[in-house]
Amino acid sequence: MEPDDRIEQWFLRYGNDVYQYLAYFTGRRDVEDLVQEVFTKALKALSGYEGRAQPRTWLLSIARHAAIDHSRKQKMIDWFPETVLGFLRSKERSPENALVLKEQLQEVYHTMNQLKRTYREVLILRLIEGISTEETAEILGWSEAKVSTTLHRAVKALQKRMSNSGKEVHLHDAIF
Amino acid sequence: MTPSFEEKQVSSLLQSFPTLRMEEEKQREVIQQLRREKELLKKRRGRAAYRYVIGGVAALLGMLWFASPFLPSPSTLAPAHSGGQSTQAARADVNGQPAEAGKEAAVLTIDAQIQTSIEQTIAKTFDAVHPERMTVIVSDPGTGEILAIGSRSKNGATDDAERFAAAGKAQPNPGAAYQIVTLAAAIQEGKFDPREIYESGTYKGIPGEPIKDFNNGIGWGKITFLEGFLRSSNVAFAKLVHERLHGDTLLEYFERFGFGRETGMEAANEEAGKLPNMDEPRKAALAATGLGGAATPLQQMAAVGAIANGGKLMQPHLYKQAGTDEHNRYMVRQVVSEETARKVRDILESVVAGERGSGIGLGLPNVTVAAKHSVVEKTDPKGKALDGKYTVSVIGFAPSDQPKVLVYVEIDEPQSELPVVGWKKVVAPPFQEVLGNSLQHVQQLQKR
């Protein structure tokens, strides 16, 4: 196999993992451009990759950087007065492309987005995406111990916020 | 650092977030764009390489011109020089590249330590309840690798032939595995509303003898379908199939999950079993409760393994070969969606951990276990019930959210003081022992 074909293979295999990660990270459904960006970056950097990590781990760590860059840009755009960049905003952030979940999950998601970034990141990777502690540690560049303790604190913080805002958690209602 | 109940619920909620997928059209767009990028990259690299060649040649010419006055005549030095270089190059080749010994030999997937531990468990259980026969299988649900396999019968030593024969021998009325597949089918088809209420106890909605819950048709009054499944209510299964799912759809799912066909494991004399007859509504309803047809332990392992493995059915196998893509080689098909598999796992976890679960007592400390047990009356070859002779079995995996080991334990005609309804207590200790030991061993291996 030609080395560059690997990217296409990986896209078929892990494309949705990357997509899902970016969607939950940014809160948008229309993150195809970001997915494209991630795999293009991977294509260009492939010669430097050579089996350092599992492909999925590697792709997700690229995705993470892309998502962080994206949110920085988004903050810039948000900061400008609406009149100046109104057209940009409406194009970029049309509400119909926002990520919408079932009611109860939406509340959890909304509350989670108010937590600090490290908490959000570990919750998205470990719980929503279901990635192992080991892989998460590699993606975030943390130790495994840090992933575990941060996850624990994040869950605690989220639970506290949920109960403070009087939103009781009905697991049953949410899953079905 | 044990999480509180509420915290566990928050975690479960996050875990239940839906899987998101790109639209297919967008996927194609990305692939096309990737191909364009690749071509561009190739061209650019080509040009870059060309640049190096030109540069290199120019530099060489320059050096030659500069050094020409000092160079000895080619005839005197060249042979010796080139000779030296070639031996050096050859040595570098030997050292620089790891020896590739061609294809690696196939090795058994059986794990010596887990195998030893299940043999001990079997011996212990034999001493305790003197069954006719006992079979234990442990596998890795993610790959389909069989990690340990053991069987012993009352009048016979454990030898390899018998061990594999038991795993591949079809037995009537598979019980739990059929129930789990029925649940998965109903969820996948959108026919399972866990909150819907029904009247448990006795179901007369089908012509023929009414279908009764195992407590003599008393049931538990009006309960939800979720509770019905947790309590292993026959009426819940019968209603689900008769009124919602229908026999033909259920039969399709049984086939998808691999029943009625050999799994293809490398064991001799594997039987294909028999799909349950679902021509009549009553038979379809009984099949959903686990009665009818015939299945081998291997088929049951594969089917429940698919639930543990995000809906991917894997072929059980005994040999692995380093360097081959095990996943693609042994993946049979996606039988239900990942989301459906996750919901079934959650419910199976509640069977063991929930207040109303029928599987209480099958769990382990500090690990989430998903499991279902069944007690089935034995039948003669014609299908007539053999009075008072039962087989009890458990199938389950752990940890339920990220399954690492799948365990099947079957005890045929145990001698016990307990009433048959309480036979879970007979099968729980060996199941817990095998599951706990295997999981601990596998997790240690992964840490290393």
The answer to whether A174 faces chain B, any CB pair under 8 Å, is yes
Q: How many interchain CB pairs under 8 A, A with B? A: 113
Distance to chain A for B323, nearest Cα, Å: 14
Residues of chain A with CATH 1.10.1740.10: 1-99
Distance to chain B for A32, nearest Cα, Å: 7
- How far is B44 from A33, CA to CA, in rounded Å? 23
The answer to whether B10 faces chain A, any CB pair under 8 Å, is yes
- How far is B410 from B176, CA to CA, in rounded Å? 12
Task: Kindly list the structural domains of chain B, giving each domain's residue range(s) and its CATH number in brackets, ordered by start.
Answer: 107-447 (3.40.710.10)
Indicate the residue of B14, B22, B195 with minimum beta-carbon distance to A176: B195
Tokens 């919750």 correspond to A123
Interface of B with A in 184-223 (CB under 8 A): 193-195
> Is the pLDDT reported for residue A68 higher than 70?
yes
Cβ-based burial of A127 (10 A; exposed 0-12, middle 13-18, buried ≥19): buried
Cβ-based burial of B414 (10 A; exposed 0-12, middle 13-18, buried ≥19): buried
Residues from chain A that touch B343, judged by Cβ atoms under 8 A, are 175-176
CA R_g for chain B: 30
Partner-chain contact B194 A127, CB within 8 Å: no
What pLDDT is stored for residue B57 in this prediction? Answer: 64
Flag the least confident range among A118-127, A156-165, B277-286, B391-400: A156-165
What pLDDT is stored for residue A81 in this prediction? Answer: 55
Partner-chain contact A159 B41, CB within 8 Å: no
Distance to chain A for B118, nearest Cα, Å: 28
The answer to whether the peptide bond before residue B403 is cis (omega within 30 degrees of 0) is no
Is A1-99 CATH 1.10.1740.10? yes
Distance to chain A for B32, nearest Cα, Å: 10
Which residues are CB-contacts of B9 (< 8 A; sequence separation ≥ 6)? A159, A169, A171
Residues from chain A that touch B4, judged by Cβ atoms under 8 A, are 159
- How far is A73 from B217, CA to CA, in rounded Å? 65
pLDDT < 50 positions in chain B: 71-103
Residues from chain A that touch B18, judged by Cβ atoms under 8 A, are 101, 105
Top residue of B7, B10, B445 to mutate, by most chain A CBs within 10 Å, is: B10
Q: Closest Cα to residue B319, out of B103, B109, B104?
A: B109
**How would DSSP label each residue in B216-266?**
TT-BTBEEEHHHHHHTT-HHHHHHIIIIII-HHHHHHHHHHTTTTS----S
B307 DSSP 8-state letter: H
Top residue of A148, A155, A161, A163 to mutate, by most chain B CBs within 10 Å, is: A155
What pLDDT is stored for residue B48 in this prediction? Answer: 63
B137: β partners: B149, B408
Distance to chain A for B166, nearest Cα, Å: 35
The answer to whether B14 faces chain A, any CB pair under 8 Å, is yes
Instruction: Name the CATH architecture for the domain at A101-176.
Output: Orthogonal Bundle (1.10)
The answer to whether A85 faces chain B, any CB pair under 8 Å, is no
Tokens 């509303």 correspond to B193
Residues from chain A that touch B36, judged by Cβ atoms under 8 A, are none
Residues of chain A with CATH 1.10.10.10: 101-176
Interface of A with B in 37-66 (CB under 8 A): 39-40, 43-44
Q: Closest Cα to residue B305, out of B406, B373, B168, B401?
A: B406
What pLDDT is stored for residue A85 in this prediction? Answer: 47
What pLDDT is stored for residue A170 in this prediction? Answer: 53
Cβ contact B242:B281 at 8 Å: yes
Distance to chain B for A21, nearest Cα, Å: 9
Partner-chain contact B22 A171, CB within 8 Å: no
What pLDDT is stored for residue B214 in this prediction? Answer: 83
Chain A residue with minimum CA distance to B193: A176
Distance to chain A for B47, nearest Cα, Å: 16
pLDDT bracket for residue A119 (50, 70, 90): very high
